[in-house]
Amino acid sequence: MNALKNALAIVVGVGLMLAGSLAGADTLQDIQSRGTIKVGMLVDFPPYGLMNEQNQPDGYDADVAKLLAPDLGVKLQLVPVTGPNRIPYLLSGQVDVLVASLGITPERAKSVDFSEPYAAITIAVYGKDDEKITKPADLAGKTIAVARASTQDTAVTKVAPPSATIRRFDSDAAALQALMSGQVPLIGCSNVCYLTIQKLAPGKFNKKFELSSQVQGIAVKPGEQNLLARINQFIDKIKANGELDKINEKWLGEPMPAVLKKK
């Protein structure tokens, strides 16, 4: 009986030691001790994440990670993840952080801790350069194309004056074709869609005003306050010194969106 009690005591003691060790874990210290940061990123979501011609992870998120690692004084290891497994990879310790186009939502915030935003998928009104439009009221009497039942359809419908004509197409591609062919002078679409516009007609169309946005954050395991604070310092730095602007211009063809400038 005593032997059993002793054995149980040992098991409980070991469990408490392990729990204490885990509770005291500090991923930032681990990263710095190891000399490498393992960053999970998508490689199937261009322009944020993709595989380049050298079969290496590339894109907006990769460029952010390539700045983060030297800022922490360590080497970078990019780890490809998928949409479904990215949070499990983080929570299981297979990666230290996620720079993986992860939109900041209340539901996800129950599983991970988010940095301040470093990227955003924005919905905006775009149109010909000679269209003098800066606000929703300027859409009066104008025709604007959107993909039917999309986020941009909802956003444009919400703000458009009664005299505006909203032409709804079956897809972004169809709405884009209407813009390119001159059927409509304006389109409501995402900044990712705007990349296609820029490729098809460089310099002929520009952003008029933003409608909505889904901001993205760098994710860490819950409770990693030291790492999170250090990452937020890094994000503030690349916003202030123009490096994040350069990444937006490189991959999205436009400056850092206004929503990223808000604190």
Percent of the chain with pLDDT over 70: 90
Does an H or E element contain 10, and which?
A: helix 2-23
**Which amino acid belongs to residue 131?**
E
Same domain, yes or no, for 178 and 126? yes
**Looking at residue 15, what is its pLDDT?**
42
Which is it for strands 205-220 and 113-128: parallel, antiparallel or unpaired? Answer: antiparallel
**Looking at residue 140, what is its pLDDT?**
97
Same domain, yes or no, for 10 and 115? yes
Same domain, yes or no, for 33 and 45? yes
Q: How many domains does the chain have?
A: 2
pLDDT, tens digit, 9 for 90 and up, residues 92-118: 999 999 999 999 999 999 999 999 999
Tokens at residue 10, please?
């040992």
Same domain, yes or no, for 97 and 154? no
Same domain, yes or no, for 187 and 225? no
Q: pLDDT band at residue 81, thresholds of 50, 70 and 90?
A: very high
Same domain, yes or no, for 116 and 221? yes
pLDDT, tens digit, 9 for 90 and up, residues 128-139: 999 999 999 999
Q: What does pTM read for this prediction?
A: 0.81
Q: Does the pLDDT value for residue 242 go beyond 50?
A: yes
**Looking at residue 2, what is its pLDDT?**
45
Same domain, yes or no, for 81 and 23? yes
Task: Determine the structural domain holding residue 239 and report its residue range.
Answer: 2-120+216-261
If we measure between CA atoms, which residue out of 225, 256, 236 comes closest to residue 68? 236
Residue at which a domain ends, from 174, 189, 213: 213
Between residues 150 and 220, the one the model is more confident about:
220
**Looking at residue 170, what is its pLDDT?**
94
Same domain, yes or no, for 13 and 68? yes
pLDDT, tens digit, 9 for 90 and up, residues 13-66: 334 333 333 444 699 999 999 999 999 999 999 999 999 999 999 999 999 999
Chain-centroid distance of CA 153 in Å reads: 22
Same domain, yes or no, for 55 and 157? no
**Looking at residue 263, what is its pLDDT?**
63
- Please give the C-alpha separations between residue 244 and each of 54, 66, 228, in angstroms, as whole numbers: 24, 12, 18
**Looking at residue 255, what is its pLDDT?**
87
**Looking at residue 244, what is its pLDDT?**
97
Same domain, yes or no, for 234 and 197? no
Identify the three-state secondary structure at position 59: coil
User: What average pLDDT does this structure show over 117-130?
Assistant: 95
Residue at which a domain ends, from 177, 193, 213: 213
Round to whole Å and give the CA distance between 252 and 101.
14
Domain CATH code at residue 87: 3.40.190.10
**Looking at residue 90, what is its pLDDT?**
98
| Average pLDDT value for the chain | 90
If we measure between CA atoms, which residue out of 178, 181, 179 comes closest to residue 206? 179
- Numbers of helices and strands, H then E, in the chain: 10, 10
Same domain, yes or no, for 164 and 221? no
Same domain, yes or no, for 186 and 222? no
Q: pLDDT band at residue 123, thresholds of 50, 70 and 90?
A: very high
If we measure between CA atoms, which residue out of 189, 134, 193 comes closest to residue 167? 189
User: What average pLDDT does this structure show over 203-230?
Assistant: 95
